[in-house]
Amino acid sequence: MKKRDRTSLGDILEAAERILDYTRGRVKADIEADKMIQDAVVRRFEIIGEAAKRLSVELKKNHPALDWAAMAGMRDVLIHEYDVVDIDIVWDTLNSEVPKIIEYLRGILHDG
Choose the catalytic residue: 6, 43, 63, 75. 75
Residue 80 designated active-site: yes
Choose the catalytic residue: 43, 80, 106, 110. 80
Closest CA to 92 of 5, 46, 17, 23: 23
Closest CA to 52 of 10, 83, 108: 10
- Region of 75 please: left (phi>0), alpha (psi -120 to 50) or beta: alpha
What residues are labeled active site?
75, 80
